[in-house]
Amino acid sequence: MNVSLYLNHGTWVHRLDGRTKTLVVLGFFVLALCFSHPAYLLGILALVVGGLVAAQAGINVKKIWVLATLLVCYSMMLWPFFVEGETPVPVFDVFGVTWEGCVFGLGMGIRLLIMVWGGVWLLSTSTIEELAQASQQLGLPARGGFVFSLAFRWVGILMGAGIGVIQAQRSRGLDLSSGSIMERIRKYVPLVVPLIGHALRQTNLLAMALESKGFHPTAHRSVLKTGKMKSPDYAVLIFLNMLLGMSGWMWWHGIGTLTVRF
Amino acid sequence: MITQFACYDPRRWWADLVSVWQDTRLIVVTAQIAAIYAAILIPFKAGIPLIPGFVELRPANAIPIVASLLFGPAAAWGAGIGNIIGDCFGTLGPASVFGFLGNFLFGYLPYLMWGNLGWLSSGQPPLVQSWRQGMEYGLICVVASGVCAGIIGWGVELLGLLPFVVLAPAIFFNNIVMSLLLGPPLLMFLYPRVQRWHLRYEDIRSSFVAQDNLRPSGKPSSVEYELSPGIADARTHESLLDCKNLSFYYPNEQNPALQNLSFSISPGEMVMLLGRSGSGKSTFCYACNGLIPHMIAGELTGSLQVCGESTRVTPVWKRADRVGLVFQDFETQLVGTTMEAELLHPLEYRQPPLSFNDVKRRISSALSSVGLEPSLDRDPMTMSGGQRQRLVIASVLVQEPQLFILDEPSSDLDPVTRMQLRQTLRQLRDAGMALLMTEQDHDDLQLADRVILLDEGRIVWEGSPDALLRDPHTMRNRGIRPLALTECFEELVCESLPLTIDEAVACAEKMNLMISPPAAVLDDTIRLGELPSLRGSQPDPFVRFEDVYFQYADQPILRNINCFIYPGEFLALLGANGSGKSTCARLLNGLLAPVEGRILIDGLDTRTTSMNELVKRVGLVFQNPDHQIFADTVWEEVAFGAKNLGCSQEEIVVRVRESLAAVGLSVEESAGLDPFSLRKGERQRVAVASILATRPAMLIFDEPTTGLDAEETDRMMAMIRDLNRKGHTIVMITHSMRSVAEYAQRCLLMKDGQIVADGSPRDIFQDSALVRTASLEIPLLSQFSQRWGYTLLTVNEVKASLKPNVR
């Protein structure tokens, strides 16, 4: 079962170095945190959307649109109840809802969307190994990246096994949809135990398989696929730095920031 | 009596956290916990939303606490990384940092707290079997769930994404409910098993792998086996592998896994180790690349030199560039999410680092050796089983080893993929590589230059493949199935037993024999014996497929399936991987529903009949018994299905006894055993018994003999035949043409989601070209008998049909 969001489209965005893509996404997150006014955040969102279009990642946006919509709606609907303001909203003013709160909620909804779509952009354009390698090149420990990519690889296998387990237990009459909440939760034991048992039986074998291929925690890991930073990488990073510098300056001067009380 | 039990020593919290990253097994456990957490998070949903579409009750939230009490700090890292992987399905963002931190503590605090709560601690292992343990567990759940929810809620509010008071309580509720309800039973099932497998954090941390347990053997070398002529002379001083009096005992085992092995392998030689399950083949493979004694503890005596070095001197990972090993379960060796990552991974640990050009050359050469297209961005999980195996072989070949070891490489492959593998191995041998291969069947024997037959860890025969194949008596005595063609001529006075069809024809002609089958062959009496008359004169079909069409995500899997299955039949479903056989099985017991058309089981439409009603009529035995086994004892496991159907206690007892007896397991001896401790063949029997307890009229077996040796296969097939004779309708999905020829009454041959032939095995095998179009090959026996215009299926049929040529 393939669980990765990576799309093998070979666009110029895909060809960027892993480090560049990681830094761009971190840049998106910082930019989103610099502003709280919806108008400014919309500008950043447009940038993220541009990135998604350039990466031809629409299919992944479509995959998570329900989740993204719900998150944005929750943010937009809930924040007004927790933010103080001066202009009450008719009907809802009994709950303390103000226009300032609504605008703040809208801004936070857009911020959330920037973050979710920014993550989707990175995952659509980079393989897990590329991310692990980029994190190593950016100074994070190599072993962490390796475990992350190893676990990611096994998720698909375990999910496939999980479906097999569900089918095997349903074939023995296990009905997950009946009974009280307590009973339904307890019925997960016959599903979870075989799956964990299946994985753990292989622990020693997996460790042996790794060392047989030359892996050892103390061994130095070289980065063999050294994607060299090319002109597009530098261009993107220069543009990002300029944007970050400008946004930092605006944040310092309170431009694009809503002043709210909670 | 209360014993002092604490998972954690407060003085070593930092050492604990760091130690996870210093041991390969702990690294694997960490990755496994992360993968389990993420894998359960997605498909297992209780369907009860806390924040609709965003937070809902999920069984996965019990995993960090349970894992923490079993695997300590590995669970903390695993839970944190697992949460980030979960975010990679669409919610990766700055909040993932807080998700990591919250889940890290959710998986770390229980380990820190258990046994360290002063008078509140039970002093007992982390199970919930007494009120004190329950109280300790409950307290830990509250604290760990609260800390996790607090950190994530605070972080998400800090980022301005959602208010704390909305998110934190939902996370807390989810964590606490799942931990309290699911945690105790999970611990009850998992703790004893993890303890038995020596996988608890404490066990791994303190595990001692004997580095110096190779003691000089005091015992004299004793060559007790038969050595075929010329072999001793062939041993050279330039051996790549040279073992002398090698013996090995697993810990706490009375019998040796290897006994006084002495032999050598030269460059450019292919040696095959043959033997039944448990004969020591895999153990020897592990010894060759140093896994024994560096990673597998035990007592090793004698000497084993590989590439001029003793295996006990250099650790496994430092030998990877000289000795390549492909495991029997080759999927465990796949570590990357792209082909390129898979091939680069072994080269990344080479010292000094390889040049870019060298890496490129090695990858291109390895891929061309195994005949794989260089689509380096391709995800291995999108490849077929055979392609994945070739990728694993390529990932070993990139290291350019001098000795290449393959442990049962063809056990899970269909005939076409087997053929491709043989070709690859031949090329490698011709290129000068030394190969050591293990098998439990004779299928690939002729590939080897030399065969070594192992039994109970000893070499019992050594010689050329031809010599062994012409000696069916030795093969049979050592649990290896002889070549069917040689068996046919075994009792005849024949100069040399035939190995090929041409040799068999020549042999028959020389003895003036021809194939002239008697009526008892053609009416299947010799092959199937006297069949009970279950069908009557005009039986109603038990199963009706009517214009059935099925697809997964716009990909048609089954097209226009129309067929009947009659009560009491033994039907084989044949076809290459991906031809739609397993989908048919899942449609039959209602796990899937047809997109078009309908399936009637005993008159009931599977689309409108409940699963529980169908389960009473159709039992599906899955290929992997481990996908269903969960209970503490064989009795509980077998009783599970009957309980689900609401049977009374008395009825359950009757059914369990009856089912265990039907699969040949003794109630007294096996009922109390842990099913996880049984061998694969026995676990498969428990799985069959648990299905039988639901008393289905029809049983479907999905590849029932995969991974079993000849004797286990015969036992399994005999059991299935007995069930058929007791009145069960049997549907068997298989690649094994021998099993079909020997046991099936009827075959359905499938290709690309359609039935291309329906008839008796004899009728279907008659058209060998048609069978070949479905990527299968008819048995050699049938090909042999077809020289005389008859299609015979079994050794007994051929023996009964060989008559003097009177023309």
pTM reported for the whole predicted model: 0.85
- The residues spanned by each domain of chain A are 18-126+229-252, 137-212
B234 has pLDDT over 50? no
HEC secondary structure over B468-499: HHCCHHHHHHCCCCCCHHHHHHCCCCCCCCCC
Is B537 or B287 the better-scoring residue by pLDDT? Answer: B287
CA A40 – CA A110 distance, rounded (Å): 10
What is the Cβ-side half-sphere exposure of residue B315, based on CA atoms within 13 angstroms?
16
Distance from CA of B30 to the nearest CA of A (A): 8
Mutation target to probe the A interface, by most A beta carbons within 10 A, among B331, B628, B637, B645 is: B628
pLDDT of residue B547: 95
Tell me how far apart the alpha carbons of residues B124 and B4 are, in angstroms, rounded to a whole number. 6
B517-540: string of b/e by CB count within 10 Å (b at 16+)?
beeebbebebbbeeeeeeeeeeee
Minimum Cα–Cα distance from B676: chain A residue: A197
CA distances from B647 to A88, B193, B637 (A): 63, 29, 15
Q: How confident is the model at residue B217 (pLDDT cuts 50, 70, 90)?
A: very low
Higher pLDDT, B612 or B107: B107
pLDDT average, residue stretch B762-785 = 91
The answer, yes or no, to whether residue B587 has pLDDT greater than 80, is yes
Burial class, A12, CB count within 10 angstroms (exposed 0-12 / middle 13-18 / buried 19+): exposed
pLDDT score of A78: 86
Q: What are phi and psi of B629, to 5 degrees?
A: -75, 125
Search chain A and give the residue with CA nearest B32. Answer: A151
- Distance from C-alpha of B16 to C-alpha of A125, rounded to nearest angstrom: 36
| Two structure tokens written together for B414 | 């269909």
Please state, in angstroms and rounded to a whole number, the distance separating the CA atoms of residues A84 and A96: 7
pLDDT band at A58 (very low <50, low <70, confident <90, very high): very high
B651 at the A interface (CB within 8 A)? no
User: Residue range B615-621: average pLDDT?
Assistant: 92
Kindly report, residue by residue over B766-775, the tens digit of the pLDDT. 999 999 888 8
**Residue A89 pLDDT greater than 60, yes or no:** yes
Supply the mean pLDDT for chain A: 88
Check if B31 contacts A (Cβ < 8 Å). Answer: yes
Per-residue pLDDT, A38: 93
Tell me which chain B residues have a C-beta less than 8 angstroms from the C-beta of A152: 35, 85, 88, 337
- Please report the pLDDT score of residue B208 as a whole number: 45
- What pLDDT was estimated at residue B149? 96
Q: Under 8 Å CB-to-CB from A99, ≥6 apart: which residues?
A: A85, A87, A88, A89
Q: Which of A1, A133, A121, A103 is nearest to A52 (CA)?
A: A121
Does B317 contact A158 at a Cβ distance shorter than 8 Å?
A: no
Higher pLDDT: B50 or B164? It is B164
Give the pLDDT of residue B48.
58
Minimal C-alpha gap between B526 and chain A (Å): 36
In this model, does residue B20 exceed pLDDT 50?
yes
Cβ contact A224–B344 (<8 Å) = yes
Residue B225 has pLDDT above 80, yes or no: no
pLDDT for position B212: 38
pLDDT reported for residue A159: 85
- B169 has a pLDDT exceeding 90: yes
Q: B100 Cβ partners below 8 Å, 6+ apart?
A: B80, B81, B83, B84
pLDDT band at B239 (very low <50, low <70, confident <90, very high): confident
Q: Does B612 touch chain A (CB under 8 A)?
A: yes
Taking residues B718-744, what's their average pLDDT?
Answer: 91
Residue A147, chain B, CB below 8 Å: the answer is yes
* Chain B neighbors of A161, CB-CB under 8 A: 39, 627
Residues of A in contact with B683 (CB under 8 A): none
Residues of B in contact with A111 (CB under 8 A): 159-161
Mean pLDDT of B640-669: 89
Name which of B21, B38, B90 is nearest A67 (Cβ-Cβ). Answer: B90
**H helix runs in A35-180, sequence order:** 38-54, 58-63, 65-78, 99-125, 128-137, 142-170
Question: Does A163 contact chain B (CB < 8 Å)?
Answer: yes
| Separation CA B745–CA B126 (nearest Å) | 54
Indicate whether B528 pLDDT > 70: yes
Is any Cβ of chain A less than 8 angstroms from the Cβ of B353? yes
When mean pLDDT is compared over A68-72, B353-357, B691-695, the highest value belongs to B691-695
Indicate yes or no: CB of A200 within 8 angstroms of CB of B199.
yes
A66–B53 CB contact, under 8 Å: yes
Whether the predicted pLDDT of B537 surpasses 70: no
Q: What pLDDT does residue B609 have? A: 92
Q: What per-residue confidence (pLDDT) applies to B554?
A: 77
CB within 8 Å: A190 and B640: yes
Instruction: Return residues 20-49 of A near B (CB < 8 Å).
Output: 29, 33, 36
> Could you tell me if B172 lies within 8 Å of chain A, comparing CB atoms?
no
Query: Which of A:219-258 have CB within 8 Å of B?
Result: 219-226
CA closest to B158 among chain A residues: A33
Identify the CA nearest to A9 among candidates A50, A51, A49, A57.
A57
Does this complex have an ipTM over 0.85?
Answer: yes
- Nearest-Å Rg of the Cα atoms of chain A is 23
Using a pLDDT cut of 90, give the percent of chain A over it: 40
- Asked whether the predicted pLDDT for residue B748 surpasses 60, the reply is yes
Question: Quick one: pLDDT at residue B1?
Answer: 38
A:B CB pairs within 8 Å: 381
Most confident of B140-149, B277-286, B422-431, B579-588: B140-149
pLDDT band at B807 (very low <50, low <70, confident <90, very high): low
- B721 to chain A, any CB pair closer than 8 A? The answer is no
Looking at residue B553, its amino acid is A
Decide if B552 touches A, using CB distance below 8 A. Answer: no
Does B45 contact chain A (CB < 8 Å)? no
The proportion of chain B whose per-residue pLDDT surpasses 90, expressed as a percent, equals 50
